[in-house]
Amino acid sequence: MKLCIIADDLTGALDSAAPFAGRGLAVQVALSPEAVASVAASGAQVMAVSTRSRDGNEDAARAAMAQVVAALPAGVPILKKIDSRLKGHVAAELAVLDPARMLVAPAIPDFGRLTQDGHVRGHGVARPLSIAEALGPLAGRAIIPDVTSAAEMTAALDRMQPGDLLVGARGLAEALAIRMTGQPAATPVTPRAARSLLVIGSRDPITVEQARRVQASGLAAVLPAPLGEAAPDTTAPHLLVQAVAGQATRTGSQVAEALARSVHPRLTAGRQALLLSGGATAEAVLAHMGITSLRLAGECLPGLAVAYGGEISIIAKSGGFGAADTLVTLLEMFQGQN
């Protein structure tokens, strides 16, 4: 195995591993720490794993990281994927790896999310976010470069020494994939589907706007799901189910579980493609479907990884990622319009 990518949720695991799959490497994704051993034995050149620890507490995050590391073959290089807006238990998870030195580069330049003066700035970032603050006591071990372009990301990666831990998001993964394969561009995947289901658990404003544009386009029927509870009474060939506010209060994980129960198996049956937005939502739906690992094919759009669980296409999208027309473009792709 050439590389293991460890992410704290499934969408992060997929979007950071997609640049490697799109350049011809065999990539498998473990949906939980429990699946690492079997996926590691699959012959994959790159493995990505979700610790499913984004929404839990720090102790659970540390335990999940330790479980993954213990199951890895000795000597496998690690890319620790972190959220580009520094969500989750960044310091706690890195402490398990205990690096002597690390490159911390969460920028995604082609998405307008940059790092300058030790802070994340740009698209979807309301105020600058301190990287050192997210690293806590490990900040003194970190090299935190300014990255405002793909060229600057490549330069930062080139300055690293063997044994340095790489910590970042899709932008760093892209630079590393280019270095490992020698291929500047990835080959895109074009999924087609006569029947598709989009399950939107994220309440990030970026995703909310993307869903609004789908409704305005008429490309899919839209079914609101208050607190994740949907009444699946439609047979529309293309359907978007979106979690919305309800009478009570639920955690993100509870909403994701409710969505998963609502859509599977009543709405997943007979679909050729699923789009799952929000890491917890993706994990919950796939768990209800009994899927523990995925074969990754690449990306259909920037940040939208295409994987396969059996015969069905699985596309997972981080809540804070993508242009406003991303979901409209995806539906047009499903329907052969582009």
> Based on the domain organization, do 205 and 138 belong to the same domain?
no
Is the pLDDT confidence value at 233 over 80? Answer: no
User: What pairing do the DSSP bridges indicate for beta strands 27-30 and 46-50?
Assistant: parallel
Comparing 77-86, 112-121, 191-200, 311-320, the range with the smallest average pLDDT is 311-320
> Is 201 part of any domain?
yes
How far apart CA 54 and CA 253 sit, in angstroms, is: 10
> Based on the domain organization, do 54 and 156 belong to the same domain?
yes
Is the pLDDT confidence value at 234 over 90? Answer: no
> Is 189 part of any domain?
no
CB atoms within 10 A of CB 98: 9
CATH number for 283: 3.40.980.20
Q: Binning pLDDT at 50, 70 and 90, where does residue 338 land?
A: confident
How far apart CA 198 and CA 222 sit, in angstroms, is: 9
Say which residues have a Cβ less than 8 Å from residue 219's Cβ, sequence separation at least 6.
Answer: 238, 328, 331, 332, 335
**Which string of DSSP letters, residue by residue, matches 22-91?**
TTT--EEEESSGGGHHHHHTTT-SEEEEE---SSS-HHHHHHHHHHHHHHSPTT--EEEE--TT--S-HH
> Based on the domain organization, do 158 and 211 belong to the same domain?
no
Residue keyed to tokens 């002597």 = 100
Q: Binning pLDDT at 50, 70 and 90, where does residue 246 land?
A: confident
Say which residue, 337 or 25, is predicted with more confidence: 25
> Is 234 part of any domain?
yes
Domain final residue pick, 181, 207, 241: 181
> Is 186 part of any domain?
no
> Based on the domain organization, do 159 and 232 belong to the same domain?
no
10-21 and 279-288 helices, crossing angle to 10°: 90
Specify which residues 304 forms β-bridges with. 301
**pLDDT tens figures, 17-72:** 999 999 999 999 999 999 999 999 999 999 999 999 998 899 999 999 999 999 99
> Based on the domain organization, do 137 and 166 belong to the same domain?
yes
Average pLDDT over residues 314-327: 92
> Is 187 part of any domain?
no
When divided into structural domains, the chain yields a total of 2
Average pLDDT over residues 305-324: 92
Give the per-residue pLDDT at 318. Answer: 87
**pLDDT tens figures, 65-118:** 999 999 999 999 999 999 999 999 999 999 999 999 999 999 999 999 999 999
> Based on the domain organization, do 117 and 209 belong to the same domain?
no
Q: Establish whether the linkage from the previous residue to 265 is cis, with ω within 30° of 0.
A: yes
Say which residues have a Cβ less than 8 Å from residue 263's Cβ, sequence separation at least 6.
Answer: 197, 199, 230, 232, 241, 285
> Based on the domain organization, do 257 and 309 belong to the same domain?
yes
Give the per-residue pLDDT at 116. Answer: 98
**pLDDT tens figures, 261-312:** 999 999 999 999 999 998 889 999 999 999 999 999 999 998 899 999 988 9
Domain range enclosing 78: 3-181
Both structure tokens of 333: 């792709």
**pLDDT tens figures, 135-182:** 999 999 999 999 999 999 999 999 999 999 999 999 999 999 999 999
Comparing 56-60, 219-223, 233-237, 332-336, the range with the smallest average pLDDT is 233-237
> Based on the domain organization, do 122 and 208 belong to the same domain?
no
> Based on the domain organization, do 59 and 160 belong to the same domain?
yes
Give the per-residue pLDDT at 54. Answer: 92
Domain final residue pick, 156, 181, 206: 181
Give the per-residue pLDDT at 80. Answer: 99
> Is 191 part of any domain?
no
Give the per-residue pLDDT at 301. Answer: 92
CA dihedral 27, 32, 33, 35 (to 10 degrees): -60
> Based on the domain organization, do 219 and 306 belong to the same domain?
yes
> Is 283 part of any domain?
yes
Give the per-residue pLDDT at 303. Answer: 83
> Based on the domain organization, do 276 and 314 belong to the same domain?
yes
Is the pLDDT confidence value at 321 over 90? Answer: no
Domain final residue pick, 124, 156, 181: 181
Share of the chain above pLDDT 90, in %: 91
Contact between residue 131 and residue 106 where contact means Cβ atoms under 8 Å apart:
yes
Which of left, alpha, beta for 112 (phi over 0: left; psi -120 to 50: alpha)? left
Give the per-residue pLDDT at 79. Answer: 99
Both structure tokens of 146: 């300014």
Specify which residues 122 forms β-bridges with. 113
CATH number for 11: 3.40.50.10840
> Is 190 part of any domain?
no
> Based on the domain organization, do 323 and 219 belong to the same domain?
yes
> For the chain, what is the mean pLDDT?
96
How far apart CA 199 and CA 241 sit, in angstroms, is: 5
